[in-house]
Amino acid sequence: MQNILIVGSGDVARRIFSRLAQRHRVYALVRNASRADEWRAAGAIPLLADLDDRASLQRLSGLAEIVLHLAPPPGEGKKDTRTRNLLAALGKGKSLPRQLVYVSTTGVYGDCAGAQIDETRSVNPESSRAGRRVDAEQCLRQWGAQTGVRVSILRAPGIYAADRLPVERLKKGLPALAAADDVFTNHIHADDLAAACLAALRHAGANRAYNVVDDSDLQMAEYFDRVATAFDLPKPPRISRQEAEATLSPLQMSFMRESRRIGNRRLKNELKLRLAYPSIDDGIAEACARRNTCLS
């Protein structure tokens, strides 16, 4: 039975755990006691620690053969100090993990002006948030090369699920960009991202990056329209980019400044993953079916 450490205890981590629980001993790094109780009840072994506190991470050394790193960087700064603290803790013991899989973001590519890209595209982060992800990737690659630990990087776009669709946004009537100003956006269902993490354990190459995206090729407003139609909500009004800059929050606008159409050939050919939700329409349909079941 292998020991697996999951770092980052959110929704995708729980989906991964549900597929591992019967065959592996799983440790979950959590920051507070309430989350520890949840993971313990699910069958995991919780470890109460904080990636922002290096001293609290001492127990991680030599603990697991495999590490799944899903924790986000800190909210400010140029460096991902959390990943740096994690690697320092993992490296203190006599034994290192055999493999580490890191879930990064496709935001590391920056704005590609709607071009079709793959993993050979150079990173060009345009937000400080994406810059910290690039720092994490670089630290992990260097650590993997120095230690021999097989490090794999999964770059994920907007993660969605039945309960993670922009329904509340649509109910508020927030606008979307007009077609001339709109951006191409990429998606992955949370179940498929969880499956990709497990596929990486079996098939990923050392210091290799993989885009974990579905087959959809949509502009953002079209995505909103499809969700609106499925949930019988009004489609968002269209406005120009100039109007959006004056209307929407900086955080909302940050997702409307970068346009990419990301390919997933490595995901399918190298990780051998068959997507459960190949397109956003598949995920929306599943969410509607779940809603109808709840209403009946």
Give CA angle at 295 (289, 296), nearest 5°.
90
How far, in Å, CA of 123 to CA of 239, rounded? 30
For the segment 27-47, the average pLDDT, to the nearest whole number, is 94
Cβ(228)–Cβ(170) under 8 Å? yes
Cβ(130)–Cβ(111) under 8 Å? no
For residue range 75-116, what is the model confidence (pLDDT) as tens digits?
999 999 999 999 999 998 779 999 999 999 999 999 999 999
How far, in Å, CA of 30 to CA of 266, rounded? 32
How far, in Å, CA of 9 to CA of 71, rounded? 8
In the three-class reduction of DSSP (H, G, I as helix; E, B as strand; rest coil), residue 25 is classed as strand
Summary mean pLDDT of the chain:
95
The pLDDT of residue 231 is 94
pTM attached to this predicted model: 0.95
What superfamily in CATH does domain 3-165+186-217+259-284 come from?
NAD(P)-binding Rossmann-like Domain (3.40.50.720)
> Does 296 have pLDDT greater than 60?
no
For the segment 5-25, the average pLDDT, to the nearest whole number, is 93
Q: Lowest-confidence range among 54-58, 238-242, 249-253?
A: 249-253
